Amino acid sequence: MRKTKAWVIAVALAVCTLLSNEFSARSIVEVSGPVLSVLQRTEVVWIAIFSTVVLRERTNGRFWFGAGLAGAGLWLLYDPVANPSSLHALGLMLGLLSAIVFSVMAVITRKYIHEVRPVRLNLQRLLVSLPLCMLAGANVQQVVHADKTQLWFAALAGLCGPVLSRLCLMQSARYVPAHMTAMIVQLAPLFTVALGFLLFGELPAPREWGGGALMLAGVVLTVVPFGSRPRPI
């Protein structure tokens, strides 16, 4: 791939990253965390739609049934309507926009993943993101004068999120369809619950156990091959 094209892709991914984060940050001001979590998980639906139109990837009835199970489990896990007063129209719209933009990012990655080097592309994306953040009005002074502990935690979050997580998503796009990757990512809340128990001793409630079981069943139904002609993964 030409270097110019690689930089164009990196710029597109950087813009999607910033827009998705901006929309989610503004959404959380208007709605509760559980509501935003559910809204962002609608990326499974958006990615399936966009990958069908742009990449000509096919989805089947089992995928949609599994996605429905996972969605029901997520709803049960987070109970987003526990506080109806937090359901603000603007916040809901921004949360959905965040999921849509992230879905566009996933489809772009899937489309060009065989033409790029994931590590290099991710580095280019991060390099482009920095000046874009400054242009968007990022407060550099707050970062410079931040507490050292806060900076360490920010660096750790950056390593786990924009670096390792994004590289794994890019590598996944080499081997499985975009909607399949998005479906597997639905397991993230289960890992959050497990880590919450291991690190803080927070034992999940029965409702959370039920939601987690539904999510796991939906993902397994979609990902694990059944029958005499398993799909390659």
Domain-by-domain residue ranges, the chain? 3-223
pLDDT digits over 118-169, tens only? 989 999 998 898 888 777 666 666 766 778 888 888 889 888 888 899 899 9
Per the prediction, the chain carries an average pLDDT of: 84
- Percent of the chain at pLDDT exceeding 90: 24
Confidence of residue 206 (pLDDT cuts 50, 70, 90): confident
pLDDT digits over 58-75, tens only? 888 889 998 998 888 888
228 pLDDT more than 60: no
83 pLDDT more than 70: no
Torsion of CA 194, 118, 224, 159, to 10 degrees: 0
Place of tokens 């409702």: 207
Measured between alpha carbons, how far is 61 from 69 in angstroms, rounded to an integer? 12
**Model confidence pTM above 0.85:** no
Measured between alpha carbons, how far is 120 from 110 in angstroms, rounded to an integer? 16
pLDDT digits over 32-56, tens only? 777 787 888 889 899 999 999 999 8
Using CA atoms, how far residue 81 sits from 32, 76, 86, in Å, is: 9, 10, 8
| pLDDT the model gives residue 98 | 93
| pLDDT the model gives residue 3 | 78
**H/E/C letters for each residue in the chain?**
CCHHHHHHHHHHHHHHHHHHHHHHHHHHHHCCHHHHHHHHCCHHHHHHHHHHHHHCCCCCHHHHHHHHHHHHHHHHHHCCCCCHHHCCHHHHHHHHHHHHHHHHHHHHHHHHHHHCCHHHHHHHHHHHHHHHHHHCCCCHHHHHCCCHHHHHHHHHHHHHHHHHHHHHHHHHCCCCCHHHHHHHHCCHHHHHHHHHHHHHCCCCCHHHHHHHHHHHHHHHHHHCCCCCCCCCC
Measured between alpha carbons, how far is 198 from 219 in angstroms, rounded to an integer? 23
Measured between alpha carbons, how far is 74 from 15 in angstroms, rounded to an integer? 28
